[in-house]
Amino acid sequence: MSKIKPSKGAPYARIIGVGGYRPTRVVPNEVILETIDSSDEWIRSRSGIATRHWASDEETVSMMSVEASGKAIADAGITPEQIGGVIVSTVSHFKQTPAVATEIAHRIGAGKPAAFDISAGCAGFGYGLTLAKGMIVEGSAEYVLVIGVERLSDLTDLEDRATAFLFGDGAGAVVVGPSQEAAIGPTVWGSEGDKSETIKQTVAWNEFQIGDVSNLPLDSKGEVKFPAITQEGQAVFRWAVFEMAKVAQQALEAAGISPDDLDVFIPHQANMRIIDSMVKTLKLPEHVTVARDVETTGNTSAASIPLAMERLLATGQAKSGDTALIIGFGAGLVYAATVVTLP
């Protein structure tokens, strides 16, 4: 017989507040066309993207996260001191250690919460949300701050015609707290490591720092390119459209609902064509509001779902209490989908 006392957490968890931060600089497709041979029409038809936000030197991963977190905490109606956990999903914080979550926790005045970073690419917000739910239900924290934040402009090869137009910067945050009813469904998540080469960093950091640059990619000026994100567009598109629709359906079934029960669909904002194809494959009813934040925000990886959620609520396209299906997918290849009640 175990002598360990059982955990005494909340019966359930829910999202109780959301906040977002978009950098002040808005970058239209015309700026992207200065370095690639393409057209505004081609970019829009391939991705649905018209503009994206790029961060200034002052708009760091930490600064954007603090801004989004402050809004989420205020929206939740709690104080920073009540935060017992800070989870940050990002691939664009360049310090290996310490985790940027610890700096953010200090800057928002959270006291001494558990604080750590995770790297799950565009599925990172779903991973963080699932971890936060577990912390609250098992009783190690009452409120957990989950942040998705990226400065992907730092990892964009502006001469790569396949990816230069895709990425944007920003931060989205939610506060997860206790609930007396189920408001975050079971997570359907996983990985397909055999496809890990389809989305990747071009050069490892240790290769980039080695003096011999003979094997490193060069830009049009003959200078060594900074490591960037690259992808096999068609392979990723096919995987996202066909396989992720199956995962989304599994998440609905795990939550015990059908597409007719949904009010909102918030997929990772990777590409408008992927979003529209998933809507068609899932046979979502016309009454379901679909997030299409990618048009003006671009692909912000881990930040895309909370940013899209925040905009839908702020504009009145979605409302508190709505039932939403969220799904993230990307580098790894990894994915995570769940059904939530909006704050």
Q: Which residues carry out catalysis?
A: 122, 268, 299
Q: Are 151 and 61 in contact (CB under 8 A)?
A: yes
d(CA 169, CA 37): 23
Structure tokens at 277: 């194809």
d(CA 8, CA 22): 38
The burial class, CB within 10 Å (0-12 / 13-18 / 19+), for 185 is: buried
Q: Phi and psi for 318 in degrees, rounded to 5?
A: -135, 160
d(CA 116, CA 97): 10
Helix, strand, or coil here: 324? strand
Distances in whole angstroms, Cα of residue 151 to Cα of each of 64, 71, 120, 250: 9, 19, 15, 31
User: What number of CA atoms fall less than 13 Å from residue 320's CA on the CB side?
Assistant: 8
Strand order across the 323-330 sheet = 188-191, 334-341, 323-330, 264-267, 289-290
Structure tokens at 33: 């066309």
